[in-house]
Amino acid sequence: MKIKFIIVFIILTATSCTYKQINSVLIDNGITNFSNILFDKGEIVKLDGDWIFWPDKLLSYNEVINSLDDGYRVYKDFPGLWQKLTLLESKNNLINRGTFVLRLKLPKSIDSWSIRVPNAISSTTLYLNETKLVEIGKTSNSIKDYIPNSNLKVVPFTLNREDNILIMHVSNYLVPYTGTWDSLTIGRTKDINHKRFIDIVISSLISGALLIMGVYHLALYLLRRKDKSTLWFSLICILMSIRNLITGERILIELLPVSELMWRICFSIEHLSAHLTLPLFFLFFSVIFPKYINKIVINTVLYVAGLWLFIHIFTPPMFHHRFLSFYEYFLMITSIYLLSSIIRAFVNREDGALISLSGMLFLFSASINDVLLSNEIIDSIYLAPIGLLIYTLTHSFFISKRFSTIFHEVEIYSNNLKTQNRSLERFIPNQILLYLKKNEIVDVKSGDSIKQEMAVLILDREYSNDSFSSLSDEEKLKEINLFTTRFGTLITRCNGFIEKYTENGFIALFPSGSGDALKSSLYIRTTLIHYNNERMFNNLAPLKINIGIDKGEVLIGTVGDVKRLDSIIISDTISNVIQLKELGYKLKKDIVVSNNSVKELQNPEKYRLRLLPKQDQNYYVVDWA
């Protein structure tokens, strides 16, 4: 199905091209015959065929009539070039002007007619009998009064007689070839205007779509400059958008003043926007498929394109356009190489190769059509804007897919980093990060610290009959994990956090004060009863605990080097708590609290505290209910 889709693209493009033929039915020997044309049904006719032609002359109506009466009959295929200078031929040999004449015999049943007059090379004046219908630029017998222009016009007219003479003047003094590019079309006014409207809408939509995609991908590049494929792609879209506005229906030229300078600017933009597209494609695909685009070929294309750009800017069209065909054939050859590189990427199943290949085949076919058309080998229409629009749509999808993949990978990496941060926070607790005013673990460095008053709780386990020492190292680790998993949550439940795990227990900090530390110790005591019941059910010896609680100023900080960090607490309070815990061990009391901690309790009586005098300090034990 995908291969058929590509083939359909090629067929659609190929069927738009037909070998050049003279329409002998409509125009024969300079006389029109519209007997088979249904103008009243909306048909529009191209005035292609044998026009009577006077080279090197701009004749008036009377001069044309006199010449025709004298038997002048020289015909020229219209549209087409009547002369093209060779590389070494002098510009003085160029036939700068000419007159085309056509006898019009239109039906009397239609009152309102219009004719679409495209630009010639490079100025045009159209007459109907003695009446001037339109002037595009200014035709002249001398370069002094000549003004080039690339616009097109739709001109309404009425017929006062059955036999009419259509006279077209063409003059050119600036480019090395002279003639006409496109057909004149004739029909009812409403039909011509309707077609013109449709053409402008389609051209505007194509230009607008290309411009929007160009600006969008340029913004993507500005946001992520590492990926230059979006830059090259945006430039391609913007260049072709501008080109489409000054070719085809000449929408932009209609808004510009008529002058030789403006013609030169538009003429250069029209050609350079097309000629620089392929080098940009090479740069684009060198990023997308770097393995398949040879750097020597890329550099060759860029050097030749740079040389052509230099010649185009700093030499007149009369000189550099003699080399136009050579450069366009060079582009055709290099585009074949580019297409073959994309085919190799497709054969090797590179991501995005199928999308690139389908769009590139259509664009390649359209480009060949335009080159053959500009060299008068075929009779067709310019398809590069449509081909590029289809290509940009397919490749915008590919680039969007790439960015979607990148965003998906970023999400995966982000989730992995969050998971890693959560894992690292188990080594340096998140509460310490908050106190150190760090948002992420990666922001922490050795030596960060803060000093604050808080309660400290130290817990030690005690095994009866020395059962713990008889376990293997693996069994000891498992035993420790079972205990910390069960009792560690009781610390966080009371607004504390465990700063350090030890072989026999842990050290916990309570910034909220001694009340939460004491409440946590009571939860631990109650939970231990259930925990020991489970152990005895499994024929394991019960555990005892010793808890010491004190309050004081504690310095929390980090120590380590660039590869390893750990948290640390430095405080005399730690030593006091260790003494309390050891005192409880001697007195066989599981919870011992300092006098400093008891002083800040709001309702100390609810904890069943009992004072134990010892020298000059007071200690409290928590009795069982």
What are the tens digits of pLDDT across the range 340-389?
888 898 889 887 778 777 777 777 777 777 767 655 566 666 676 677 67
Q: Are residues 389 and 255 in the same domain?
A: yes
Q: Are residues 523 and 574 in the same domain?
A: yes
Q: Output the 3-class SS for 73-86.
A: CCEEEECCEEEECC
Q: Are residues 176 and 199 in the same domain?
A: no
**pTM reported for the whole predicted model:** 0.65
Please give the pLDDT value at position 541: 84
**DSSP reduced 3-state for 316:** coil
pLDDT in tens, 381-424: 667 667 767 777 777 777 777 767 777 777 887 777 777 666 55
Q: Are residues 471 and 612 in the same domain?
A: yes
pLDDT in tens, 578-588: 988 888 888 88
Q: Are residues 167 and 278 in the same domain?
A: no
Domain assignment of residue 522, yes or no = yes
Distance CA 127, CA 133 (A): 5
Average pLDDT, the chain: 83
Nearest-10 Cα torsion for 592, 595, 599, 601: 0
Domain assignment of residue 409, yes or no = no
Q: Are residues 180 and 220 in the same domain?
A: no
Highest mean pLDDT among 95-99, 238-242, 333-337, 415-419: 95-99
Domain tally, the chain: 3
Q: Are residues 364 and 469 in the same domain?
A: no
pLDDT in tens, 490-542: 998 998 888 888 888 999 999 889 999 999 999 999 999 999 999 888 888 88
Please give the pLDDT value at position 15: 38
Domain assignment of residue 445, yes or no = no
Distance CA 26, CA 456 (A): 105
For residue 598, give its domain range: 452-622
Q: Are residues 143 and 255 in the same domain?
A: no
Distance CA 52, CA 50 (A): 7
Side-chain-facing half-sphere of 305: CA atoms under 13 Å = 21
Please give the pLDDT value at position 421: 65
Q: Of 393, 410, 433, at which residue does a domain stop? A: 393
Contacts of 158 (CB under 8 A, 6+ apart): 111, 112, 113
Q: Is 107 exposed, middle or buried (0-12, 13-18, 19+ CB in 10 A)?
A: middle
Q: What is the CATH number of the domain that holds 93?
A: 2.60.120.260
